[in-house]
Amino acid sequence: MQKQESYTLEKGEATQEFDDDGQTKRTGTWMSASAHIITAVVGSGVLSLSWCLAQLGWIFGSFLLVVFAVISWYTCTLLTNCYRSPHPVTGARNYNYMQAVKTNLGGRQYIICAIAQYGTLIGVSIGYTITSSISMGAIKRSNCFKKYGHDKGCHTLNSPFLLIVACIELVLSQLPNFHKLSFLSIIAAIMSFVYSTIGMGLSIAKIAGGGLPKTSIGMPTREDVSSKDKTWDIFCAIGDIAFAYGFADVLVEIQHLVTIYAPGNYLTGFGFYDPFWLVDIANLCIAIHLLGAYQVIMQPVFGFVENWSRRKWPESRFINKEYAIGYFRINLFRLIWRSTYVILATLVAMMFPFFNAFLALIGSTTFWPLTVYFPIEMYIVQAKIQRNSFRWIWLRALSLVCLLVSCLAAAASIRGLVGSVQTSKLFLSVS
């Protein structure tokens, strides 16, 4: 039986346990893949979009939302075509983003991709840790407002909630791969729809209640903000909108599972007070969603370290042996490595309460290479697009425009980071 299975894999045919490339059988579906994508896209960046529209106005802000949605959709379509190489249908599979870049563009750009992708994912995981704790703290703060009134500050120390997040992630991080995360992503995706619906409903109710200043259809003007500060806020808002759609850094990994191929939080910032219970539910949903999103965005990093270790020490029982404990399977290396990462990420989150400002800088500098540059360059190589043809010029022009957006947003992020460093204290995160 074993001999027959080996012969079948050599011929490139699938078996009940393995696919035609000898890899473990893919069990992903369009539903699980969609849940992973929604969980990755609807992250903490989406919560700042209301602030972005306040800086840009309804017309320009809505226009940019559509423009960057189309750009992200288009470049992700190009990226999915590079899942197989050299032919998009019959070529060999690329199991992750880095392998796709290495296959199509070579080793030097592969290294740049590794730095950009894993730097972004690690930074986002720390940002999610902070945002989850802030949402938990917002529930406590909301109850304080209910008890003592809106005039009381009710400021809350976030450190205890950071520890709660860490304890939960220590458990969830032992889920070995994307295949085992489907249920978590589905829950997280549902939570994202719940808190988005609550936020939209509260916004409509508040507008209908009247008593609010009029919003600006065109570019807003504020007398209390200098033109220089306003310009930087506009650059930052454009960058936030561009980054809000990003999920290219986990797209290839998610695609590999499918069996058939074909800066402010509007709910924790207390723009809303009443009803308290509904705001609490929304913040709880945010926390649950980000707990799941943390695992989705960290799977490429976890997988990279573990796969490299298996190749480096193939005979090591510590690295390769799985121990069955009831319905669970425990690997000692996975247990120690992932737990160590969660603890270190939590320490960084506690040490640098202004890390989200630093995350904005990471997002601005990696948006262009991961979401635009690499997908376009790989597609040009794979599709053999002729140099100086109309399509070649159009793709390069799109890449250049997005590079400009990244540079402007990076400059605005650096300015915001400097201000955050000056006003924050280490190990003191307060909501």
d(CA 35, CA 182): 7
What is the pLDDT at residue 46? Answer: 74
For residue range 112-126, list pLDDT tens digits in order: 999 999 988 998 898
For residue range 366-425, list pLDDT tens digits in order: 889 999 999 999 999 999 999 999 999 999 999 999 999 899 888 988 888 888 777 777
Across 297-307, average pLDDT: 92
What is the pLDDT at residue 355? Answer: 66
d(CA 248, CA 72): 8
Across 346-375, average pLDDT: 84
What is the pLDDT at residue 169? Answer: 96
Q: Kindly report the CA angle at 376 between 371 and 381, in degrees rounded to 5?
A: 145
What is the pLDDT at residue 424? Answer: 75
CB 46 within 8 A of CB 263: no
Output the pTM of the full model: 0.83
For residue range 137-182, list pLDDT tens digits in order: 888 888 887 777 766 767 788 889 999 999 999 999 998 887 778 8
Among 83-87, 313-317, 344-348, where is mean pLDDT lowest? Answer: 83-87
Q: Kindly report the CA angle at 234 between 233 and 236, in degrees rounded to 5?
A: 65
> In the structure, what pLDDT confidence band is assigned to residue 228 with cuts at 50, 70 and 90?
confident
> In the structure, what pLDDT confidence band is assigned to residue 11 with cuts at 50, 70 and 90?
very low
CB 428 within 8 A of CB 156: no
d(CA 307, CA 45): 30
> In the structure, what pLDDT confidence band is assigned to residue 21 with cuts at 50, 70 and 90?
low
What is the pLDDT at residue 243? Answer: 78
> How many CB atoms sit inside 10 A of residue 36's CB?
32
Among 28-42, 210-224, 417-431, where is mean pLDDT lowest? Answer: 210-224
What is the pLDDT at residue 2? Answer: 44
**pLDDT at 183 exceeding the cut of 80:** yes
What is the pLDDT at residue 7? Answer: 35
**pLDDT at 254 exceeding the cut of 70:** yes
Selected residue with higher pLDDT from 257 and 111: 111
**pLDDT at 10 exceeding the cut of 90:** no
What is the pLDDT at residue 9? Answer: 37
> In the structure, what pLDDT confidence band is assigned to residue 218 with cuts at 50, 70 and 90?
low
Q: Which of 265-274, 316-325, 358-367, 419-428 has the highest mean pLDDT?
A: 316-325
> Which long-range contacts does 394-403 make (Cβ < 8 Å, 24+ apart)?
398/71, 398/372, 399/368, 399/372, 399/373, 402/71, 402/242, 402/367, 402/368, 402/371, 402/372, 402/373, 403/368, 403/372, 403/373
**pLDDT at 6 exceeding the cut of 50:** no
